[in-house]
Amino acid sequence: MSQQPPEPGFHMSSEEFRRWGREVIDWIADYHERVETLPVLSRVEPGAIRRALPEHPPEQGEGFERMLADLDEKVLPGITHWQSPNFFAFFPANVSYPSILGELLSAGLGVQGMLWTTSPACTEIETLVLDWVVELLDLPRTFHSSGAGGGVIQDSASSATLCALLAARHRAAEAPAEALVAYASTEAHSSVDKAMEIAGLGRDRLRRIAVDADRALDPAALSAAMAEDRAAGRRPFFVVATVGTTSSLAFDPLDAVGAAARAEGAWLHVDAAMAGTAAVCPELRWIHRGLEQAQSYCFNPHKWMFTNFDCDCFYVSDRQALIDALSVVPEYLRNRASESGQVIDYRDWQVPLGRRFRALKLWFVIRHYGIRGLRAHVRRHVELAAGFARWVESHPELELAAPCRLNLVCFRHRRGDRASEDLLEALNASEKLYLTHTRLDGRYVLRMSIGQTRTESRHVEQAREAIDAIVSNGRLPGSA
């Protein structure tokens, strides 16, 4: 490699890579050290970032120093800082240093793990780490690769839900496609609708089942809907239960939902995208009660388990159903290892063919923190949320909009939607923190989502102070 002259347009030499690599590592460390001082939500105008950059690709190559300079000057103003400890919006997408190093090594190795044979370590470490996670979260043994099931890393819970739906449809192939009906609560994620559309079933064949006062799926309503469809000659084939809904972190009762699904022979998929990580703590494993009834399950270490996006852990209790739904084998991918039946080819467990070595970062995260470390961080977030919820309850102008069970606090201004909207607007305009909203029972609700890697009690305290200052300054509609 050292024969290459270090001119623009030629390959970057190893010497240059060592030099710029160190700079980038330092840049990232500096960034994480100062990120809490940056305005959390980017406030640039549409088009402003692009206008600041050259409209055409360069004829001659440029030196890397220009890219780093642009990062600071042109890119950062357009970044919404998901890694700020003052990021309380949506759900977290938290990262950690060990995960970043895992992603870096994965990029450096540059292997493509579509088949076992195209890098056995890529496949075997993925299977191993997903088995580790079965232990870590105390998931049902049906998801462990030692039996008929197993796990795979997907890019997102959306893709996991799609794959679960495809496997369920394949299992229900005896029924005509136009008879198939799926079920999820009114609070389930929009990716269920999207999966129904993609699969060609259409979202009108997804029954949105009523929820109870806690916004958990009502199993009686589910059973009634399935019975009605069955009586009309339709085939209930797929039920999605949510462990921690996106709006308010409601928990569907898996045992009762599972029993209802089983009675109809429907596939139960459990979506625990954000909340699943909580199960590292034994005292929080109530979230998964009844999970042994599920045919598939997913959660995202890229949300709350310190692992870079993308990393969704997707499990099935019957891997053959998934493989049968997704396998297409052309000649140029045939090889002895695959035909021996002794290995896993993960390309048959997902929509894309290619895949990178994503298990490395999850492996590093679990090894770096250990079970105890992960528990400590999850407990910290849960305690911070509980404290924030108590503060809301005690505040004269605010109220909880949903019970706080884990790390999300849904609250609103007592004076109504307009005051709540203005409160959110004012908070985000302060640039000191970032929250997003939802609607519950038609009412506007602020969501305080606590799960960023470095969020500590002082950040939540600052958020309380910022909220208090706004609701107490008397300028919100309806204020005294």
Following DSSP, what letter does each residue of 390-409 receive, concatenated? HHHHH-SSEEESS---SSEE
Output the smallest distance, CB 7 to a second copy, in A: 9
Sheet containing 436-440: which strands, arranged edge to edge? Answer: 398-400, 408-413, 443-449, 436-440
User: Before 310, cis peptide (omega within 30)?
Assistant: yes
Query: What 8-state DSSP symbol labels residue 392?
Result: H
Output the smallest distance, CB 344 to a second copy, in A: 9
Q: Of 352 and 478, which CB lies nearer to a second copy in the complex structure?
A: 352
Q: Of 67 and 469, which CB lies nearer to a second copy in the complex structure?
A: 67
Output the smallest distance, CB 243 to a second copy, in A: 17
Q: Of 198 and 227, which CB lies nearer to a second copy in the complex structure?
A: 198
Distance (Å, rounded) from C-alpha 267 to C-alpha 284?
25
Q: Of 56 and 174, which CB lies nearer to a second copy in the complex structure?
A: 56
Output the smallest distance, CB 347 to a second copy, in A: 9
Output the smallest distance, CB 474 to a second copy, in A: 25
Output the smallest distance, CB 285 to a second copy, in A: 16
Output the smallest distance, CB 108 to a second copy, in A: 3
The 10 Å Cβ neighbour count of residue 350 is 21
Distance (Å, rounded) from C-alpha 401 to C-alpha 419?
14
Both tokens assigned to 420: 């709540």
Distance (Å, rounded) from C-alpha 160 to C-alpha 407?
23
Distance (Å, rounded) from C-alpha 308 to C-alpha 47?
27
Output the smallest distance, CB 184 to a second copy, in A: 12
Distance (Å, rounded) from C-alpha 252 to C-alpha 188?
10
Q: Of 148 and 333, which CB lies nearer to a second copy in the complex structure?
A: 333
Output the smallest distance, CB 69 to a second copy, in A: 12
Could you tell me if 321 and 67 are in contact, meaning their C-beta atoms sit under 8 angstroms apart?
no
Q: Of 247 and 293, which CB lies nearer to a second copy in the complex structure?
A: 247
Half-sphere exposure of 216 (CA within 13 A, CB side): 16
Query: What DSSP element (H or E) covers 183?
Result: strand 180-185
Distance (Å, rounded) from C-alpha 376 to C-alpha 380?
6
Output the smallest distance, CB 259 to a second copy, in A: 28
Q: Of 82 and 285, which CB lies nearer to a second copy in the complex structure?
A: 82
Distance (Å, rounded) from C-alpha 433 to C-alpha 464?
11
Following DSSP, what letter does each residue of 156-179 receive, concatenated? -HHHHHHHHHHHHHHHTTTS-GGG
Nearest Cα neighbor of 120 from 301, 270, 337, 407 is 337
Q: Of 180 and 260, which CB lies nearer to a second copy in the complex structure?
A: 180
Q: Of 284 and 325, which CB lies nearer to a second copy in the complex structure?
A: 325
Q: Of 263 and 371, which CB lies nearer to a second copy in the complex structure?
A: 371
Nearest Cα neighbor of 355 from 364, 346, 363 is 346
Distance (Å, rounded) from C-alpha 97 to C-alpha 364?
10
Half-sphere exposure of 390 (CA within 13 A, CB side): 7
Distance of CA 250 to the CA centre of its chain: 16
Q: Of 65 and 255, which CB lies nearer to a second copy in the complex structure?
A: 65
Q: 151 has which bridge partners?
A: 315
Output the smallest distance, CB 164 to a second copy, in A: 13
